[in-house]
Amino acid sequence: MASVGGGYSGATTPKPLPSSGPQSLRDIPHPLAGSSGEEGAGDALTPSPDLGLPRGVADKDLSLPNGGTPVGTLSPASSSSLLNRLQLDDDIDGETRDLFVIVDDPKKHVCTMETYITYRVTTKTTRAEFDLPEYSIRRRYQDFDWLRIKLEESQPTHLIPPLPEKFVMKGVVDRFSEEFVETRRKALDKFLKRIADHPVLSFNEHFNVFLTAKDLNAYKKQGMALLSKVGESVKYVTGGYKLRSRPLEFAAIGDYLDTFSLKLGTIDRIAQRIIKEEVEYLVELREYGPVYSTWSGLEEELAEPLEGVSACIGNCCTALEELTDDMTDDFLPVLREYILYAESMKNVLKKRDQVQAEYEAKLEVVALKKEDRPKVPTDVEKCQDRVECFNADLKADMERWQNNKRQDFRQLLMGMADKNIQYYEKCLMAWESIIPLLQDKQETK
């Protein structure tokens, strides 16, 4: 399935972003290689001898499972087919595609109370969970937001792809402009494609409802009461527990995400400053070129060379405008998406920590009771199972995310290099084109 990225508004028609897919790139080492938890991670939550557990409890293995199921055996690796662009060197893992989603055809709706944009969501599938092989419905941004919230509630152990920010600064961006709407459409398209590519999220019942229901409001109303109950339950479960320490592999993930967000944020800020300076330079060039054209009217002998210089500067203006648009449409959106992605992963990591903290607290309660038990309390076993589930799902999603990231950034950087080469080649050709005019003028003399 092709993934289409988000983008920022530009002066020209926005261009499709590099699509994503978790194909492994063997020549790029995994950032977390060597921190798979084999070296001491499994000892992080082993009950301390000082806890004085009763014999029946102590004989039961209550250590926090950190190894989890190997990613390769947990689920088949997902990947996006790469349409209309160069496919990279690794083959797609042999996974059969049976769910395709496209977001397109944005339309503006003007009502008495509000004005909003809807997008057509087209789904084609061969899955038995769907009644029909094809669906076409319209959704607005708040519907996508509802889907993400429901996925976070029902799949707390999984990484949910980020949505583009809802709010924009008034006076800075017109949220009904063609550029902004196209930017959002791309981001929403990528959001759904990432979910459709996921071996667990794609089978979520809320995702099914989102793709097929004609009237989504009916489902939203049904879920309000349940939402409040779930929220209270989460607060009750996660409140009052304090984590001792993360296992080594998850501590490594947390450190990596912090560093990744910091570096990406710095690149994003610098890139925006560069674009701002390029736009200011472009304004100057547009004033600079016509001066030569005006001057040519006063210099009969130099008229042709001066007009050539004016045209040359005009061509450079066009090339610079295209380069700036490419950066705003293709480069910045990927940076922003992965900054949001890192925050989403941090949130999942925090949830995992909360479940681990709850498990530790229950172990302490069992130890303090100091009474023999024939077996481990059921609530402790259930909590241990939740920790196992969090560990396995988080590591699998981290691996999937890393594969997507490598693919996206490799394509992004290749595109950036290519666009810069094109820019300088166009400027070089423009300036070389006026050299014959100057040489002819010298020979005439």
- Assigned domain for 78 exists: no
Fill in the amino acid letter for 53: L
- Assigned domain for 231 exists: no
Among residues 429, 411, 440, 384, the alpha carbon closest in space to that of 20 is found at 411
- Assigned domain for 430 exists: yes
* pLDDT for the residue 316: 96
State the residue range of the domain holding 198: 97-221
Of 167, 186, 221, the domain-final residue: 221
Distance between CA atoms of 340 and 257, rounded to whole angstroms?
A: 11
User: Total structural domains in the chain?
Assistant: 2
Residue appearing with tokens 């071996």 = 199
Q: Are residues 211 and 351 in the same domain?
A: no
- Assigned domain for 51 exists: no
Q: Are 334 and 17 in contact (CB under 8 A)?
A: yes
* pLDDT for the residue 380: 82
* pLDDT for the residue 165: 79
- Point out the residues of the chain with pLDDT beneath 70: 1-96, 167-173, 223-241, 370-376, 440-445
* pLDDT for the residue 438: 77
* pLDDT for the residue 87: 36
* pLDDT for the residue 425: 96
Of 221, 255, 277, the domain-final residue: 221
Tokens matching residue 20: 């994503």
- The CA-atom distances, in angstroms, between 30 and each of 87, 247, 276, 354, 372 are 21, 19, 34, 27, 47
Task: Calculate ∠ Cα 92-98-99, nearest 5°.
Answer: 100
Tokens matching residue 168: 């924009």
Residue-wise DSSP of 316-334? HHHHHHHHHHHIIIIIHHH
* pLDDT for the residue 374: 53
CATH of the domain at 200: 3.30.1520.10
Distance of CA 123 to the CA centre of its chain: 21
3-state secondary structure of 184: helix
Q: Are residues 125 and 161 in the same domain?
A: yes
- Assigned domain for 238 exists: no
* pLDDT for the residue 241: 65
Q: Are residues 216 and 328 in the same domain?
A: no
| Count of CA atoms in the C-beta half-sphere (13 A) of 294 | 5
Q: Please return the burial class of 276, using the count of CB atoms within 10 Å of its CB with bins 0-12, 13-18 and 19+.
A: exposed
Q: Are residues 307 and 420 in the same domain?
A: yes
Q: Are residues 211 and 271 in the same domain?
A: no
Q: Are 436 and 114 in contact (CB under 8 A)?
A: no
Give the gyration radius of the chain's Cα atoms: 28
Q: Are residues 216 and 272 in the same domain?
A: no
Q: Are residues 217 and 264 in the same domain?
A: no
Distance between CA atoms of 162 and 148, rounded to whole angstroms?
A: 8
* pLDDT for the residue 89: 36
CATH of the domain at 295: 1.20.1270.60
Q: Are residues 322 and 187 in the same domain?
A: no
Question: Residue 443: how many CB atoms within 10 A of its CB?
Answer: 6
- Assigned domain for 371 exists: yes
Task: Calculate ∠ Cα 337-116-225, nearest 5°.
Answer: 80
Q: Are residues 419 and 285 in the same domain?
A: yes
Detail the DSSP E strand segments found in 166-209: none
List for the chain the helix, strand, coil content (%; round to 5). Answer: 60, 5, 35
3-state secondary structure of 260: helix
**Quick one: DSSP state of residue 131?**
S
Question: Residue 173: how many CB atoms within 10 A of its CB?
Answer: 14
Q: Are residues 162 and 291 in the same domain?
A: no
- Assigned domain for 434 exists: yes
Q: How far apart are the first and last CA of the chain?
A: 65
Q: Are residues 105 and 212 in the same domain?
A: yes
According to the 3-state scheme, what is the secondary structure of 277-299? Answer: HHHHHHHHHHHHHHHHHHHHCCC
- Assigned domain for 200 exists: yes
* pLDDT for the residue 195: 96
Of 221, 236, 257, the domain-final residue: 221
* pLDDT for the residue 73: 35
Distance between CA atoms of 7 and 150, rounded to whole angstroms?
A: 25
- The CA-atom distances, in angstroms, between 338 and each of 43, 146, 289, 333 are 32, 21, 40, 9
At 47-85, the pLDDT tens digits run 433 333 434 444 444 444 444 333 333 333 333 333 333
Distance between CA atoms of 97 and 83, rounded to whole angstroms?
A: 14
Q: Are residues 111 and 150 in the same domain?
A: yes
